[in-house]
Structure 1
Amino acid sequence: MPSVAQILKSKSESHQDRDLRVVTIDADASVFEAVKMMSTFQIGALIVTEGIEHSIVGIITERDYARKIVLMDRASKTTPVRDIMTANVRYVRLNDTVEACMGVMTEHRMRHLPVIDNNRLMGIVSIGDLVKSIISEQQFTIQQLEHYITGAHT
């Protein structure tokens, strides 16, 4: 199984036309600003930071917006991100496997996992990134089996 590091590398190679830096937002910013940033960057989650050192204090997702703003009839322009973010941020490390990430996402019903290395935010992996990696691995295995069965050598 590929590692998180391999997934992040693959993302950067396949999206050379896009800036793949991790998009963050300050905890005191409005939820409206967070949703606007997610739309601009076409992403489903933002890492929430605060202070001069930009310490990670949470994550805000489209799901948070839908459940904690829209369904509760709150005003996104006046509600700070800190009021609806998920503060207990689960994360993975560069050497974690796709399988480990899927386990965390499944167990905690999440779609985005920050990647931390040496207390530094390296990226985010999404459920889509993991599924793409799994499909790629399966296609490779199928090709190898087909070559084996037909006697073709690569």
Structure 2
Amino acid sequence: MKVSDILQLKGNTLFTVTPDTPLMQAVQAMAEHDIGSLVVMEYGDLVGMLTFREIIETMAANNGTLGTHSIRKVMDDAPLTCTPETDVNEVRRMMLERHTRYLPVLDNRTLMGVISFYDVAKSVVEEQSFENKMLKAYIRDWPEEKEERAS
């Protein structure tokens, strides 16, 4: 299974912001859309990711407040990325090694979407469920062996 398969199942809704967006506005957008990340774009290019991790770190550093920061000051400006052709097993390894929950998908420099650890887990479970159903159907339809008669 490839990342493109996950994107097809997930759909193509993307939420983006610019680096100069106020952090509070980004948090409100994340809450409103029930999402855990925002892609930070500038002049048509991916320049960072904002996730709840950066927000929590900012709040911890500011005694529980967001302050008046823009996204530029707190975003991950070197996010891990993948391509639509990346194998899902490779994505799982990458996400686990870098402790990353959200991965922008780039085709050359074009943003194709974002996949989450949840999206990856869900697709793997669905793929395994399909394989299990196919195996059970195959076993159920197994031809019976004819008994040999003793002469």
TM norm. shorter chain > 0.5: yes
Structure 1 moving runs of 4+ over 3 Å:
none
Matched, 1:29 2:18: no
After alignment, is 55-64 or 70-79 more displaced? 70-79
Q: Which has the larger radius of gyration?
A: 2
Q: Please say if residues 102 and 114 of structure 2, whose CA atoms lie closer than 8 Å, have aligned partners that are also in contact.
A: yes
CA distance in 2, matches of 1:126, 1:40: 18
After superposition, where does 1:103-142 map in structure 2 within 5 Å?
103-142=93-132
Pairing partner for 2:137 from 107, 130, 147: 147
Q: What residue ranges of structure 2 are gaps of 5+ in the alignment?
A: 144-151
- 3-state SS of paired residue (1:128): helix
Partner secondary structure for residue 56 of structure 1 = strand
Cα deviation, residue 142, structure 1? 1.3
Q: CA deviation at 1:77?
A: 4.8
How many correspondences in the alignment? 142
Equivalent AA in structure 1 for residue 61 of structure 2: M
Task: List per-residue Cα deviations over 1:11-35 (Å, max 9, x = no partner).
Answer: 12xxxxxxx4321111111111111
- Considering only aligned residues, what root-mean-square deviation do their CA atoms show, in Å? 1.7
Q: Give the AA of the match of 1:80.
A: S
CA deviation profile, 1:40-82 (whole Å, cap 9, x unmatched): 22110011122xx2322110101110122x2112642511111
Unaligned ranges ≥5, structure 1: 13-19
Paired AA for residue 91 in structure 1: T
Aligned residue for 1:122, secondary structure, equals: strand
Equivalent position of 1:17 in the other structure: none
- Equivalent residue, structure 2, for 1:15: none
Give the distance between the partners of 1:58 and 1:151, measured in 2 at CA. Answer: 52
Q: Does 1:45 align with 2:37?
A: yes
- Counterpart of 1:28, as a letter, is D
Q: TM-score, with normalisation over the residues of structure 1?
A: 0.85
Is 1:101 the counterpart of 2:91 in the alignment?
A: yes
8 Å CA contact retained: 2:45, 2:109 = no
